[in-house]
Amino acid sequence: MGTTAVHTLLWRKGEVTDRDFPLDDVSEHLQDDDSLVWVDLLEPDHGTLRKLAEELSLDVHAVEDVIEEASRPKATMHVHHTFVSVYATRLDHPGPSPIAPDQVLASRLRLTKISTFVLPRGIVTVRDNDHFDMGQVMERWDDNGDLLHLGGGALLHGLLDAVVDGHFDTVQQLDDAIESLEDGLFAERQQTRLTQQRTFRIRKELVELRRVVLPMREVVGAVLRHRAELHKDGNELDGWFSDLYDHAIRAAEWSESLRDMLTSIFETSLSLQDARLNIVMKKLTAWAAIIAVPTAVTGWYGQNIPYPGFGHPAGVVTSTVLIVGIAVGLYITFKRKDWI
């Protein structure tokens, strides 16, 4: 990991009172009933993470999940805190802007693993990269400042809400990309190598996206079931988390429908290729039949036996009429059958 970037924020009675205070003061603020604390670690080194874990009595297994690179989104309950791991998503270059040929197959999907320790009076977030902007999360906290008195659960809701909205944005961008493939599917000469590569890339991005979007239903559902351990007061956040759960389900279902659309496009593309191949074969067959006529006639008249017009100019005329007449007749027949 790189150099650790640390950001801290302190609320007292719903108002921000301190920013970027030392990590050594975190445990002291968490003991204050009127305080709410947020600690954000960007690409922390093992020393910083271990020090904070010891100070806040974080579960060792949860800390291992933070370090693990390919962990699945999850929400687990521990003695002193709740551990939630999710992935924020972003799609680079989603529009129709040109992409370098060597980057056509490269995935544009950017994932940010956000590990969160939810405490009664605050949360600790750990990010493995800076692709996700925490500023949008802070805006949600400011917009719903009346919920901050509910403790760490309110902060967690704002974070998960921003992550799920990011999933929606990414799915929407992939949906637009798939529609652009559909628009050009029946266009003339559209089945190029570049189009096939873009279809493969979108399919790969969608597979990566579904791996982090589908488990969000379980994550939000687990948080909703154990909500009493996430905030101070009864069930005031139930409605907020229920709405978030509905959004997570919609994002998952949307990604499922995109997979069906992409499969349909892929199968249609194969069918169109087969149809184009049949058309080419019919044209080749038709032209081969037409070209075979002069070959057959000239070959017949080239035999060393007498034939109509043998030794006379009328023979040339007769062979020419046969060639032109039969070739034109075949051309008209094949044209009516749409073989040419």
CATH number, domain of 43, equals: 3.30.460.20
Regarding whether 150 and 180 lie in a shared domain, the answer is yes
User: Can you read off the two tokens belonging to residue 258?
Assistant: 């995109």
The counts of H helices and E strands in the chain are: 9, 7
Regarding whether 329 and 184 lie in a shared domain, the answer is no
Q: What is the residue range of 310's domain?
A: 280-336
* Interatomic CA distance for residues 46 and 43, integer angstroms: 10
Regarding whether 130 and 111 lie in a shared domain, the answer is yes
Contact between 247 and 135 under an 8 Å Cβ cutoff? The reply is no
Regarding whether 261 and 302 lie in a shared domain, the answer is no
| Per-residue tens of pLDDT for the chain, all 340 residues | 456 788 999 998 878 899 989 888 888 888 888 899 999 999 888 888 888 888 888 888 888 888 887 788 999 888 778 899 999 999 987 665 445 555 557 788 999 999 999 988 899 999 999 999 899 999 999 988 888 888 888 999 999 999 999 999 999 999 888 888 776 666 655 555 666 778 888 888 999 999 999 999 999 998 888 765 544 445 678 888 899 999 999 999 998 888 888 877 777 777 767 767 777 787 878 788 777 877 776 776 665 556 666 667 777 777 778 778 888 887 888 777 776 6
Regarding whether 208 and 95 lie in a shared domain, the answer is yes
Regarding whether 189 and 268 lie in a shared domain, the answer is yes
Regarding whether 288 and 265 lie in a shared domain, the answer is no
What residue type is assigned to position 246 of the chain?
D
Regarding whether 216 and 80 lie in a shared domain, the answer is yes
pLDDT of residue 213: 94
Q: Which of 273, 298, 322 is the last residue of a domain?
A: 273
Q: Which of 273, 299, 319 is the last residue of a domain?
A: 273
Regarding whether 165 and 140 lie in a shared domain, the answer is yes
Instruction: Please provide residue 145's backbone torsions phi and psi, each rounded to the nearest 5 degrees.
Output: -60, -25
Regarding whether 302 and 258 lie in a shared domain, the answer is no
Contact between 170 and 216 under an 8 Å Cβ cutoff? The reply is no
State the pTM of this model.
0.76
Q: How many domains does the chain have?
A: 2
Q: Which of 273, 296, 325 is the last residue of a domain?
A: 273
Regarding whether 188 and 61 lie in a shared domain, the answer is yes
Regarding whether 189 and 231 lie in a shared domain, the answer is yes
Edge-to-edge strand order for the sheet containing 82-91? 15-19, 5-12, 35-42, 122-127, 109-119, 82-91, 74-77
Given CA atoms 165, 166, 169, 174 in this order, what sign does their dihedral have? negative
User: Can you read off the two tokens belonging to residue 338?
Assistant: 């749409």
